[in-house]
Amino acid sequence: MLKTKFTTLCQNFSKDKALISLLWQEIQLAYSKPTRYYHTLKHLEDIYIELQPFKLTSILEFAIFYHDIVYDVKRDDNEEQSALLAKKRLEELSVPSMFIEKISQLIIETKIHKASSKLNALFLDADLSILGSSQERYKEYVQDVRKEYAFYDDTTYFSGRKKVLESFLDKERIYESRYFYDKYERQARVNILMEYDLL
């Protein structure tokens, strides 16, 4: 599914089949690293599914593929590095600079999940849709994230994780768009409180 979508997307800007194939291979390898448990290709598929009710622009689609392409839990600039890599690759595809600027901005906004537009809010909310999933799925997510931070001992990890959860609970709204707020806000708060109480 993802390979076909990416290929079709790229062909709107470039007819270089070899380049498009190389770019897909890079994405596939990045999201399939053995250190990844949640931030995988399935995460990208889930975002696509969540955004099905809406018209997917090229900006949203490229953001899906590149927003987590650089993911090292020991760094604090993954979003910036992902945006830089996206810019480089999209320039190779001859994507208009105006599009690239918006895609880069959207990727960077996933750092603090504060949207600068309604379109960006939809993407950021879809990226956080896991928070409002069923309790069973949420528990799997919690376990997968813990595996990605496996090099931390429990005390260090739990302390950091609590701060993340508190940042969500302190928000007036976890989801900025009306659609995702109505769909997931209540369950997300139930899930987050459940995890918090277990830490």
pLDDT digits (tens, 9 = 90+) for 84-110: 999 999 999 999 999 999 999 999 999
Q: What is the spatial distance between Cα 78 and Cα 67, in angstroms, rounded to a whole number?
A: 9
Q: What is the spatial distance between Cα 119 and Cα 183, in angstroms, rounded to a whole number?
A: 17
116 falls in which pLDDT band (50, 70, 90)? very high
Q: Tell me the Cα Rg of the chain.
A: 17
Kindly state the average pLDDT of the residues 139-147: 98
pLDDT score of 151: 93
Residue owning tokens 């799925």:
137
21 falls in which pLDDT band (50, 70, 90)? very high
Burial level of 154, CB count in 10 A (0-12/13-18/19+)?
exposed
pLDDT score of 104: 97
Residue type, 123: F
Mean pLDDT score across all residues of the chain: 97
Query: Structure tokens of 49?
Result: 């599914």
CA distances from 163 to 54, 59, 131, 155, 196 (A): 33, 31, 15, 13, 10
Closest by CA to 115, choosing from 165, 174, 56, is 174
Q: What is the spatial distance between Cα 94 and Cα 26, in angstroms, rounded to a whole number?
A: 18
* 150 phi and psi angles, rounded to 5 deg: -60, -25
CB-side neighbour CA atoms (13 Å) of 49:
10
pLDDT score of 194: 97
16 falls in which pLDDT band (50, 70, 90)? very high
pLDDT digits (tens, 9 = 90+) for 36-82: 999 999 999 999 999 999 999 999 999 999 999 999 999 999 999 99
132 falls in which pLDDT band (50, 70, 90)? very high
**φ/ψ bin of 113: left (φ > 0), alpha (ψ from -120 to 50), beta (otherwise):** left
Kindly state the average pLDDT of the residues 139-145: 98
pLDDT digits (tens, 9 = 90+) for 161-182: 999 999 999 999 999 999 999 9
Q: What is the spatial distance between Cα 29 and Cα 96, in angstroms, rounded to a whole number?
A: 26
pLDDT score of 111: 93
CB-side neighbour CA atoms (13 Å) of 96:
6
Q: What is the spatial distance between Cα 61 and Cα 5, in angstroms, rounded to a whole number?
A: 9
121 falls in which pLDDT band (50, 70, 90)? very high
pLDDT score of 76: 92
**Domain locations in the chain as residue ranges:** 1-116, 128-199
